[in-house]
Structure 1
Amino acid sequence: MVHGGMTVYEAAQEIGVDPIIAQLRLPDLCVTAPPSVVAPTPIPAMLPGVLRRMVVCVVPVPAYDQLRSSGNILHAAASALCAGLSQPLPEQAKGKSLVSRRPLAVPVPAEACRPLLNLAREHFGGDYHRAGGWAIARGVGMALLLPSKDDLVQPCPAPVVVAAPQQPPAPPARTFAPPRRRPDTRAPLPDDSSVPNGDELRTRREALGLSQRDLAAAGGFSRGLVAEIERGRRRHILTRLRMSETLVALERDCPSAPLASPELEPVLTAEPEPTAQ
């Protein structure tokens, strides 16, 4: 297919787009001519860094809201851009503009490329993004003036170096040792030689005629504990002392005759019955 004396591939290479995209939609910048014309039609200058004439314009927020309410925002923005570029230029503003802006990608028609570049070069310092947004705002009816030199020059603010506040040095961490529990004061144990051993306790028990079970019931021991003490397997002083005191109490209760085993157990284990009043 030949357009304006050029093939699709040549036209795509000329305007800087992909040949596949050019086959889908040939840009309007390639003005078609009759096939008899061999020389290609001169192509207007393209905007730098754009693809298929899509320009990102920074549009004032009131104009952006008005375009969005129109339905097709891209078609309305392109029409407003052409209308704004065709209007006579107003006066130059004296101060800075405080209007907020929003970016909008607008398809710029071929006939509006050159006026947009001229407007950006003459009054916007070459910033065609802001020039396009200004023209769109003028096209929708906003009364905007040309930006002043102070508004165009936006120097980068010097970086403010904020010194970090110096904090006082943290005190060293203090370690606290938990207070140790003082050992409980215990009564001193009696001398081991002053307490009878297992053989002596067994001899005294047999002299009273008591069995190991009787002595265990009288002193609150178990029979196995009595047997182990008498055999010498349990040699704790306090246990032997308690058993000796039990034998002394039994000897005091029965000083003359030894108690028989069947008669001693009820007396030592049974509780006294309450007397009727």
Structure 2
Amino acid sequence: MKRKYLLLIVFMSQLIGTSAQTIIAGTFNVRLETAGDVGNLWTDRKLYVANLIRFHGFDVFGTQEGFKNQLDDIQTQLPEYARYGIGRDDGITKGEHSAIFYKKDRFELLKSGDFWLSETPEKPGFGWDAKINRICSWVQLKEKKSGRKFYCFNVHYDHQGMVARRESSKLLLAKIKLIAGDAPVLLTGDFNGNHSTEWYRLIADSGLLRDTFKEVKYPYVNNGTFQNFGRNYSVADIIDHIFVTRHFSVKRWGVLTDSYNGKFPSDHFPVLAEVQLGR
């Protein structure tokens, strides 16, 4: 009898430990590589981008604007991560990516895919009044220890097209329902819109997804998320967001204002949300 009770205690403790496991999720616009960023070139910033990611311990995070060589640089410095994402211009490697990184020792990739933010989402192109191609990449991951499965979607909205941003939210919601069904979903991205914009409200008020910022009592929000390498430092708008479905509870949320030698790893501050799957 004592042996049975001991085994039961061990089993319950393992079960509780598994159920309490949290996921540190992030969204990070890393700023595309361009020769115009004098004083903030990618070759100078890439070490600090990787240092930030490593220190804050993201388990899964979405990046925006990164070219393939930039994503390769991140992965070279952080070999503990695998990634998925394709180029928005040719559906292979050309152009900016909306990539998703995840820790290889914790998660297994089950499925992946992409769609473009346009009237023809199955192929490269831009729609409505957008100025350039915009893409959403997604993965389904399985946590190796618990066996729990969830989807991650990562997106970057157009920076000028008002109609495109509104219609992108409608398309995104429809695609999430179609691809993930009633499964748990994490959505990360640069939405180029703060909490008052119509396209943000379409997501936040959808009944399908909740903004992790609104789910914590004390969000760490000393700054907005777009600071333009310090030139826009005083603006408090949050335009980079992390949403979750009802399957998640949210433990903490914050804008990460890390710097190096008075400079910033990107023109955006990344956002971190610690969440728990299985409320």
TM over 0.5: no
Q: TM-score range by the shorter chain?
A: under 0.3
Question: Could you say which structure has the greater relative contact order, defined with CA pairs below 8 angstroms and 6 or more residues apart?
Answer: 2
What is the TM-score when the length of structure 1 is the normalising length? 0.17
More strand, by proportion: 2
Larger Rg over CA atoms: 1
More helix, by proportion: 1
